[in-house]
Amino acid sequence: MAEHNNIYYTEGLSLPETPPPGEEPGFWKQTRMVGKRIPRVDAYERVSGTAVYPSDITLPNMIYGAVLRCPHPHANLIKLDVSLAKKMPGVRAVITGQTPAARNLTWKYNNYSGPLFDTRCRFEGEAVAAVAADTHFQAWDAVRAIDAAYEVLPFVADHNKALSEEAPDIHDNGNLAGRDEYARGDVAKGFDAAEVVLENTYETQCELHTPMELHGCVATWDKDRLTLWESSQGVYAVQSEIAEVLGMPLSKVRVIGHYMGGGFGSKLKPGKYTVLAALLARQTGRPVKLILTREETYLCVGNRPANTMQVKAGVKKDGTLTAWDFACIGPSGAYPAGGTALVDWQFRDLYACDNVRCTSEDVYINAGPARPFRAPGHPQASFALEQMMDDLAHEIGMDPVALRLKNIPEISQGRNRPYTTTGLKACIEKGAQQFGWEKAVQQARAHNQTDSRIKRGVGMGSCVWFVGGGGPPSTVIIKLFRDGSVNLNMGASDIGTGTKTVMALVAAEELGVRPGVIQIEYADTETTQYATPSGGSKTVPTESPTVRNAAIAVKRQILEMASQDLEVPAADLDYGGVEIISRKDKNKRIKVTDVSRLKKRGVVVGIGYRGPNPSDKSVNPFAAQFCELEVNTKTGEMQILRFLSANDSGRVLDRLTYDNQVFGGIVMGIGFGMTEFRQLDARNTGRLCNRNWHDYKLPTALDVPVDMESLPIEIDDPKANNTGTKGLGEPVTIPTAAAIANALFMATGIRFTRAPVTPIEMRRHLTAIKEG
């Protein structure tokens, strides 16, 4: 057996107290592991390239799938002849809407359900047929050999035109996918009470999901049982959808998703490709790998939809907000996918205001369906709200930081109940202080008085994220072996954020073992516990309290066992990692590995569950971000000099993964604010123009500041859950684009109401000013 010092990170130090059965653990006071910079437990696999992602899976006899997709934004399929394709070299199967196994299957988009293969194609990229062949290239050759003909229909690609008379109906009931309304107080009265009323319209462009790992899976059958390796954010979500589509018992669908290369919301559910891979595998009796190309993912796996937002705001000269009136329209794409869902939350909840009205209209257009995209809806609304706040501050001659501090809400007005804790004020105040806001504003103003063509600006924005984890369900099992080593079993996926490392850290904190000794079994529907998908910034606040409870369940059992050896009541024993020690008589102690019943049983199993969040409170993370940048007013080039993000996400578990999230969120926000947009050929063909990494501009190293700072604002939040965590992944990207736009306003005097602000857009505005 391994030496103790290979297993434990500390000896002699007492660990967190073990609450007696039935009692909740108290809030951690001092911690030894939590809050430190702990490298990833799987760092070696990630860096060495030995980590196996679904796209790396190779099975004996495996063949390759490819999909024929409709090249038009709107068309009826009028001819589909696959006879030549079937005869192509290496081809093992071709499936279409006429294939018996596929004919009666349905596919769902939220509340919509339609045939798996629909002859009415409503977006470019709609699946028309699928092929499996011995090699990837043979599969694609066969796709090209399929003879398909279409009756091309009129299309609409612009959400602002989707409800007009000229727009063709995409669905039988027209192009209105949904409408949301919210109101509190009396908006008209609010505007009467205002001393300044401003109105503006903001537009954000459609952003495409670009995870490094493409979407797809490997599917294989063993008699009536399907196994899928899917690049996914949640294996149980894939299991349930695929079982439903194929009419199979859940027990017969196994989904494994160990490593995955990013999802950002577009991998919360399986895709049609998952079903197609399963069908091709069943038809051929061979494992099938179906990984989409980048072009395909840009067409069909999701996007952050464009939004057009009208904002009217009322404020008193002392900075009191009196009314918000917000109206938004945005597209779901060709099917209901929530194109405007949650867009209004920042307006409802972030700043204190008694009179708020929000209307959101979701419409269909002939383009790929939207999907959740890191804080769905929120960066769009933040781009509008935070720029309006900046304008209001400007108009009443108040500092933007001061205006926000003037309007910190006491409770969650969106939910009409108190927050467990709110760090909004602290994020703004401490963020501004750390950033050196006042000095930076003065210096930028002074610099802009000179005749340099380089102008400088600073800007900020803040945000609330609308949830903070939750449960049930959340179940975790921890096994402690007789040598003291530990196995942690949970269903949650690690979507690249460091979930495994963070959970190992929590177990290590309670049990005293080194995180690296903890073997983690995860994200496999056959061998691990049920978990909801990793999304909504909820994995840490949902799963970490459960991990803690599972570790405590182990400790309680071992204390009971040791109590027999030591003849001391369990309540008088301390769990010290290596040893169990009597609190009353320090001489009475026994090594965990010497506990008789553990030696006999070989292993102790602890099960952890998580209760619900408090029902009378709202658990929310908050953030404030600060940006300093320069604009070359001759060329339109922009350079972000520095960025600071102050985040109240509750307790920091691993400072290293925490900071990584913050930096990643800022980078993604820079893409949304400055470089990324889907370009459809809206006038002529309706097709996607930028479908690769050359034409679709992701921010690169040169677009990102070297000077990025993460400032955690830790406020004890024992009411949220037993680890005091609230979630970080999404709030880190919500106000980024707005902070940039506000800095650009200070630098140039131009209010950029359209995102992204590319150098071309900047030049256009600068030229317009020059030409008067």
3-state secondary structure of 113: strand
Single out the segment in contact with ligand MOS by CB under 6 A; choices: 20-28, 153-161, 264-272, 602-610. 264-272
Of the two residues 263 and 545, which places its CB atom closer to ligand MOS in the complex?
263
User: Interface with ligand MOS includes 377 (CB under 6 A)?
Assistant: no
Residue closer to ligand MOS (CB basis): 373 or 419: 373
Task: Give dist(CA 268, CA 250) in Å, integer.
Answer: 18
Q: Between 301 and 559, whose beta carbon lies closer to ligand MOS?
A: 301
Q: DSSP character for 417?
A: B
| 302 versus 314: smaller Cβ distance to ligand MOS | 302
Rounded to whole angstroms, the Cα distance separating 223 from 78 reads 36
Q: Pick from 234, 330, 372, 724: which binds ligand MOS (CB under 6 A)? A: 372
In the complex, minimum distance from the CB of residue 112 to ligand MOS, in angstroms, rounded to a whole number: 20
Comparison of 214 and 268: residue with beta carbon closer to ligand MOS: 268
Beta carbon nearer to ligand MOS, 330 or 536 = 536
The residue whose two tokens read 């040169």 is 702
Cβ at position 303, least distance to ligand MOS in Å: 12
Exactly one of 64, 123, 221, 373 binds ligand MOS (CB under 6 A); that residue is: 373
Q: Residue 266: CB partners within 8 Å, gap ≥ 6?
A: 209, 211, 215, 297, 301, 302, 371, 372, 373
In DSSP notation, 318-341 reads TS-EEEEEEEEEEEEESS-S-SST
Helices (H), 29-104: 43-48, 83-87, 100-103
Residue with tokens 């000179």: 450
We find the least distance from the C-beta atom of residue 458 to ligand MOS, in angstroms, to be 29
Strands (E), 439-507: 454-464, 475-481, 486-490
Of 207 and 574, the one with the shorter C-beta distance to ligand MOS is 207
| Selected range binding ligand MOS among 20-28, 110-118, 369-377, 558-566, rule: CB under 6 A | 369-377
> By rule CB under 6 A, what count of residues binds ligand MOS?
11
Which of 74, 209, 215, 374 binds ligand MOS (CB under 6 A)? It is 374
Interaction of residue 264 with ligand MOS, rule CB under 6 A: yes
Q: Does 535 bind ligand MOS (CB under 6 A)?
A: yes
Footprint (CB under 6 A) of ligand MOS, residues 2-41:
none
CB of 379 to ligand MOS, least distance (A): 11
Helix crossing, 437-449 with 736-748: angle to 10°?
30
The 10 Å Cβ neighbour count of residue 161 is 15
**Residue 251, helix vs strand vs coil:** helix
Residue number, 226 or 623, with CB nearest to ligand MOS? 623
357 makes contact with ligand MOS (CB under 6 A): no
Q: How far is the CB of 72 from ligand MOS (least distance, A)?
A: 29
Q: Does 376 bind ligand MOS (CB under 6 A)?
A: yes
What's the token pair of residue 737?
């684009």
- In order, the DSSP letters of 492-537 are ----SS-HHHHHHHHHHHHH-B-GGG-EEEESBTTTS-----S-TT
Q: How far is the CB of 534 from ligand MOS (least distance, A)?
A: 7
Contact segment (CB under 6 A) with ligand MOS among 129-137, 261-269, 350-358, 744-752 equals 261-269
Positions 189 through 248 that interact with ligand MOS (CB under 6 A): 233
265 binds ligand MOS (CB under 6 A): yes
The span from the CA of 326 to the CA of 347, in Å, is: 8
Question: What is the smallest separation between the CB atom of 371 and ligand MOS, expressed in angstroms?
Answer: 8
Spatial separation of the C-alpha atoms in residues 423 and 45, rounded to whole Å:
37
Nearer to ligand MOS, 268 or 427 (CB): 268
Whole-number Å distance between alpha carbons of 235 and 154: 39
In this structure, what token pair is assigned to residue 59?
A: 């099975």
The C-alpha R_g of the chain, in whole angstroms, comes to 28
Helical segments of 436-471, H only: 437-449
Structure tokens at 397: 């001659």
Structure tokens at 677: 């947009």
> Is 636 among the residues that bind ligand MOS (CB under 6 A)?
no
Compute the distance between CA of residue 648 and CA of residue 426 in angstroms, rounded to an integer. 8
d(CA 276, CA 270) in angstroms, rounded, equals 11
Name the packing angle between helices 235-246 and 272-284 (round to 10°).
60
Q: Is there binding between residue 491 and ligand MOS (CB under 6 A)? A: no
Nearer to ligand MOS among residue 536 and residue 545 (C-beta): 536
Strand partners, 223: none
Q: Which is nearer to ligand MOS, 116 or 492 (CB)?
A: 492
Among 431, 536, 712, 756, binds ligand MOS (CB under 6 A): 536
Q: For ligand MOS, which is the closer residue by CB, 263 or 606?
A: 263
Least distance from C-beta 373 to ligand MOS, angstroms? 6
Residue 304 found at the interface with ligand MOS (CB under 6 A):
no
Q: Return residues touching ligand MOS (CB under 6 A).
A: 233, 263-265, 268, 372-374, 376, 535-536
